[in-house]
Amino acid sequence: MKISYNWLSQYTDIPENIRELADKLTMAGIEVEAIEAGKIIPDGIIIAEILERKPHPDADKLSVCRVNTGSEELQIVCGAPNCDAGVKAPLATLGTVLEDDETGKKITIKKAKLRGVESSGMLCSARELGIQDDHSGIMHLPKDASVGAPLNSIIKSDTVFDLEITPNRPDLLSHWGIARDISALMGTTLRFPDIKIPAVLKAEAAKYKDSVEVLNKGLCPRYTARIVKGIKVKESPEWLKERIQSIGLRPINNIVDITNFILMELGHPLHAFDLAELKGQKIIVRTASDGETMMTLDGKTHKLKSSHLVIADAEKPVALAGIMGGEHSGVTDKTVDILIESAVFFPPNIRASSRELGISSDSSYRFERGVDFEMAEAASNRAVSLILELAGGEIVSDLIDVKAPEREMPAPINCRFSSIRKLLGTEIDNQEIVEIFKRLGLEVSEINENSCRVDVPSYRLDIEREADLGEEVARIYGLDKIPALPVNAKMVSSLAEDAYLKLETAKNELISLGLCECMNYSMSDEKSAVCDGKFTKEDLVELKNPISSDFAYMRPSLFSGILDTVRRNISRKNLDLELFETGVVFCANKNLYPEERRECCIVLSGRKHPERFSSEKNETYDFFDMKGLLEKWLEHRRLENTGFRKADDPRFEKGSCAEIIAGGKYIGSFGMLAGNFTRGMRTQYPVYLAVIQLDVLLGLKDRNILYEPLSMFPSVARDVAFVADESLSHDKIVEFIMRSKPENLEKVELFDIFRDENIGKNKKSMAYSLTFRNSARTLTDEEVNKAHEKLRSQLASGLSVDLR
Amino acid sequence: MPNPIIEKISSALEISRQKLREAKTENDIEAVRVDLFGRKGLMPALSKEMSAVPSEEKREVGNALNNAKNEIQTLIDEAKAAISSVSSSASDEIDVTLPGRTWKLGKKHPVTMVIDDCVSIFRRMGFIVAEGPEIETVYHNFDALNTPPEHPSRDPQDTFYFPDGRLLRTQTSPVQIRVMESRKPPIRIVAPGRVYRRDTPDATHGMNFHQIEGLYVDRNVSLSDLKSILLAFAHEMLGPSVGVRLRPHFFPFTEPSVEYDFSCIMCGGKGCRVCKNSGWLEISGAGMVDPNVFKTVGLDPETWSGYAFGMGIERIAMIRYRINDIRLLFENDVRFLKQF
């Protein structure tokens, strides 16, 4: 909301320093979002009087004026149509620098000849001075302006604040409202504008007594109307135009400008109807009938519903209550008699209608937040007073005031001083608390040493409870005065209950394994969501109101997101990738997965040592790099019953894919990304990817660390080599050896695999080194040989391999 | 008197022996070889002269020539071997400026860095982490947090809904409700997590971002306690010179509500471009738990009091690392990720 400094200063004394005022407002909870400093009028612009106007001898559009500057008479050539004798206007004297607002160009006023006639200065339009947008002619100044004085002595440059008003404080949505809060903050006196209402023509007053009918008092708790006849609709005076232009409104005519002015002055929306356009000279406040239509003053036709409140005459709606007036009932140049509406509407209804009809106005903005019940009358009075002053006419009705009988008065609040102190954590005394309430316009009574009774004025809709009073005390007392005590670091629960520790640890482990963490959006399109072949559309959690179809589903897996990440990096020529992501994924099929679970994805692709040179530079990640990484991770987590088994999975190339087992459970899969996912990626390197059910992994119990004594006796090494079928896997061999339990065997390690024509097709030669050791003594050759021989023959018979 | 060719041979032998003894590089040796055995060298020339040698002397001269060839060849080989053994001992001197073989260094995402830093600071002050679902009920996300039915944040323009009426949480605050429903005070938790707003992604908005929420419920908790925890957090997170400012604000679930600012870490509060010359950086909102929230979860507001605060993780990350576009955080360009 825009607030003009000059305007605001009418209602209370405010700090002269703009910055100081902005800080005061900010610290009172009225955030200053922007400050637009007004244009400063240079001292060289003075008030001058045109004494004589003569046509220019050589130019039709120019005039030659004799101008009184107070100290001398000058000849000025002027191109404006309105530079008549007798007019007082701003004169830029010689040497004055004027700056064009739009172009920023500066011009210096110099003595010049215009078509042969000398001119010693320039008479200025409002736009040339950056005061208003009017460029139709030179600016006319008030008749009583003192000639020779600088213009800035009568026209003050203004500063406009853009304020953010929180939704709980509709009372601040006006200059008066802001002034009221400043007066509470600073203890200054408030000045309500003068209102003069003459006596009403009694003869006509009776005629209009019953012209307002409110059919739905729930939606319209108060409706007031006043009728003024014989007005003259015309342009507003300068001061009024200046006020409403200062906050960015466009002047229209005196009546409309007055209603807009009061809206911004007192925060109460008003509407002026052309009485001649009200059929039956009546106002009926009712809900629309379904399908009823009306055209608003912006020229749009709306189809209404029975929930929409309208202001109607005897025949049809003439305004959308509290939102916008009708096209045909408003004030025009021809209007002579008017009805001024000042009402209170039920906020939720205005909010709903405004949203449904897609119309938001300064009026609906205030009504949907709640206006001051009592202000309805004051605003109407203010309007009538201004209309009589600026448009003439006669007031012909009393205030026609239709109120809901059962209006709820806010209950008084019992305020315990100790509660306020406890809430704020500061020693503010009773008297100071009471003083703050009084400054805020709250009525304080029944004061004793423990508590007081507080009655809240009609404009403070946000104060209902003791806690609300506490907030007011904090606000006015000043949050900066509340001390920061030493931190209380009380431990009220154990770290074992901490929900993040496990995840945090897991992430740190992956980082220590050399992976870079990524983060992708949680939503995706349908095609990406099901691209991994693990989910169908029915398994997806679908949004009701997505931003677009590209983000219509909650991701069922991190797969497609990290795939996008890989694709994006490759397209940017970042080919060497070591990545991981952890995140929540979603599933609608409870038989498949819980609705929300955590997943982890790991990616390896590209060169292992791009930083090196020669042949080393060409080493690239392969299946066993990913496997080794996963093995180390599981080992670090001290998980038992871990392993890998061959698998078929649509996400991965056939034959280059495995399932990961930990704690005896399936926890994920990994492999070389299948060709249909890497198609089009401009990389020569295969992409290895692992998808892990992180919740399952983090839920596994880890092995306790129990120290095993170290043997101080030497180990003895033996080898065993044999030719086996290709189908015999390494883990089967190791498992067989371990199951055979050769005496004193400490360790088995594969050291060679070899294939060639001599061995035969579908055969491989495998060589293992065996380490024997005893914890209590040195082993003899014979006993090792015996165990070695036994194992050899067991392998030959048990696995049908050919020993070498 | 011997044949003049023999003399030429012996003098050539003498010179070559001398040169090879002094040879220091492969080039020196090669020069000797070319002088003797090259196409225009001495040996081929002498061989041609053999035809002019009288037949009775041919045998003697031929032998001398062959012996000389053999001897020189042997000397050349030895010289080469000697030089290569010298140079191989020189190659033990490695070029220490060659690139090292990198031990892969993983990187935390900047969002995670900020979350982890926040969590560790609050853990130190006796908080533990609590979590809640990202798909929330309207009750936990709005109703129980005292949000009026007509509050604009509920609008489907701003909040993602599911056909069953639930929503994607718009804040981490529903975790407050879940925690107060499930355990008895005193409660001291922080809740980091992903939240969602129906914003089209731009430089400062995303469909999803991260928050961390704090809640302390106990007897006699005051606004002063809130101020002290925020000040302590600011000092731990950004340094001991950082100041904290509270400004009154409005949130449905706290009363009083405040917004809090940290003094600008760029200019130290003097005013600069980053803080828009105010000297303060807006961080987020906080306040004292509203009595209505306590009533909703079945706690007596006369007995229990508490504070709650929240902050945007991305906002802090963007301030801390001077990231000017929030979308960079979700692009995952490794050149970006590796900077952290």
User: For residue A107, what pLDDT band results from cuts at 50, 70 and 90?
Assistant: confident
Asked whether residue A469 carries a pLDDT value surpassing 70, the answer given is: yes
For the residues A106-128, what does the mean pLDDT come to? 87
Pick the closest to residue A603 from A558, A637, A643 (CA basis): A558
Phi, psi (degrees; rounded to nearest 5) at A255: -70, -50
Give me the pLDDT at residue A135, please: 78
Instruction: Say what angle helices A175-186 and A430-439 make with each other, to 10 degrees.
Output: 160
A33-42, A192-201, A341-350, B160-169: range with lowest mean pLDDT:
A33-42
Environment class of B5 (CB within 10 Å of its CB; exposed 0-12, middle 13-18, buried 19+): buried
Dist. CA A155–CA A172, nearest whole Å: 27
Chain A touched by B240 (CB under 8 Å) = no
Please list every residue in chain B whose beta carbon sits closer than 8 Å to the beta carbon of residue A554.
Answer: 135
Do the strands A283-287 and A212-214 form a parallel or antiparallel pair, or are they unpaired?
Answer: parallel
CB contact under 8 A, A516 and B225: no
Q: Which residue has the tokens 């005590």?
A: A485
Residue A790 neighbours by CB under 8 Å, 6+ apart = A740, A742
Dist. CA A566–CA A578, nearest whole Å: 10
In this structure, what token pair is assigned to residue B182?
């499930």
Phi, psi (degrees; rounded to nearest 5) at A396: -115, 5
For the residues A129-142, what does the mean pLDDT come to? 79
A251-255, A681-685, B49-53: range with lowest mean pLDDT:
B49-53
Give me the pLDDT at residue B90, please: 52
User: For residue B63, what pLDDT band results from cuts at 50, 70 and 90?
Assistant: confident
CB contact under 8 A, A490 and B249: no
Task: Tally the C-alpha atoms within 13 A of residue A192's C-alpha that lie toward its C-beta.
Answer: 8
Q: pLDDT tens digit string along A221-251?
A: 999 999 999 999 999 998 999 899 889 899 9
How near does any CA of chain B get to the CA of A175, in Å?
20
Residue pair A529/A553 in contact by the 8 Å Cβ criterion: yes
How near does any CA of chain B get to the CA of A348, in Å?
7
Q: Cα angle vertex A639, ends A638, A645, to 5°?
A: 135
Chain B touched by A19 (CB under 8 Å) = no
CB contact under 8 A, A507 and B108: yes
CB contact under 8 A, A482 and B223: yes
Environment class of B1 (CB within 10 Å of its CB; exposed 0-12, middle 13-18, buried 19+): exposed
Asked whether residue B86 carries a pLDDT value surpassing 70, the answer given is: no
CB contact under 8 A, A577 and B334: yes
Give me the pLDDT at residue B88, please: 54
Residue pair B299/B292 in contact by the 8 Å Cβ criterion: no
CB contact under 8 A, B305 and A577: no
Dist. CA A14–CA A513, nearest whole Å: 63
B interface test, pick of A173, A476, A545, A550 with most B CB neighbours within 10 Å: A545
Give me the pLDDT at residue B327, please: 92
Q: Which fold has domain A45-153?
A: OB fold (Dihydrolipoamide Acetyltransferase, E2P) (2.40.50)
CB atoms within 10 A of CB B324: 9
Number of residues in chain A: 804
Strands (E), chain B: 128-129, 135-136, 167-168, 187-196, 208-218, 244-251, 254-263, 280-289, 305-312
Give me the pLDDT at residue A101, please: 64
Q: Which fold has domain A2-38+159-186?
A: Phenylalanyl-tRNA Synthetase; Chain B, domain 1 (3.30.56)
How near does any CA of chain A get to the CA of B162, in Å?
5
Q: pLDDT tens digit string along A153-188?
A: 777 778 899 999 998 999 999 999 999 999 999 989
Dist. CA A536–CA A405, nearest whole Å: 60
Is A716-803 in CATH node 1.20.272.10? no
CB contact under 8 A, A522 and B119: no
Give me the pLDDT at residue A423, please: 94
A interface test, pick of B128, B200, B211 with most A CB neighbours within 10 Å: B128
Q: Is A650 left (phi over 0), alpha (psi -120 to 50) or beta?
A: alpha
Q: pLDDT tens digit string along B264-299?
A: 888 888 888 878 778 888 899 999 999 999 999 999
Q: pLDDT tens digit string along A710-749?
A: 889 999 999 999 999 999 999 999 999 999 999 999 999 9
Q: pLDDT tens digit string along B66-80?
A: 888 888 888 888 888
Chain A touched by B95 (CB under 8 Å) = no
User: For residue A43, what pLDDT band results from cuts at 50, 70 and 90?
Assistant: confident
Asked whether residue A471 carries a pLDDT value surpassing 60, the answer given is: yes
Chain B touched by A545 (CB under 8 Å) = yes
CB pairs under 8 A between A and B: 243
DSSP state of A714: P
Give me the pLDDT at residue A133, please: 67
Please list every residue in chain A whose beta carbon sits closer than 8 Å to the beta carbon of residue B189.
Answer: 493
CB contact under 8 A, A351 and B150: yes
User: Which of A426, A480, A486 is nearest residue B245 as measured by Cβ atoms?
Assistant: A480
In this structure, what token pair is assigned to residue A524?
């995706």
For the residues A594-613, what does the mean pLDDT come to? 95
CB contact under 8 A, A510 and B106: yes
Dist. CA B249–CA A185, nearest whole Å: 16
Give me the pLDDT at residue B203, please: 86
Nearest-Cα residue of chain B relative to residue A493: B128
Domain segments of chain A as ranges: 2-38+159-186, 45-153, 202-403, 413-481, 498-699, 716-803
pTM of the entire predicted model: 0.80
Please list every residue in chain B whose beta carbon sits closer than 8 Å to the beta carbon of residue A514.
Answer: 103-106
Indicate if ipTM > 0.85.
Answer: no
For the residues A69-96, what does the mean pLDDT come to? 90
Pick the closest to residue A171 from A179, A162, A160 (CA basis): A179
User: For residue A615, what pLDDT band results from cuts at 50, 70 and 90?
Assistant: confident
Dist. CA A220–CA A166, nearest whole Å: 24
Chain A touched by B313 (CB under 8 Å) = no
- Put simply, the chain A residues between 128 and 167 with a CB less than 8 A from any chain B CB are 166-167
Higher pLDDT, B124 or B151: B124
Burial A295-323 (b: 16+ CB within 10 A, else e): ebbeeeebebbeebbbbbbeeebbbbbbb
Give me the pLDDT at residue B189, please: 96
User: Which of B126, B231, B333 is nearest residue A489 as measured by Cβ atoms?
Assistant: B126
Q: Which fold has domain A498-699?
A: BirA Bifunctional Protein; domain 2 (3.30.930)
Give me the pLDDT at residue A142, please: 82
Q: Which fold has domain A202-403?
A: Phenylalanyl-tRNA Synthetase; Chain B, domain 3 (3.50.40)
CATH class entry, domain A413-481: alpha beta
Chain B touched by A18 (CB under 8 Å) = no
Task: Tell me if A2-38+159-186 shares its fold with A498-699.
Answer: no
How near does any CA of chain B get to the CA of A692, in Å?
19
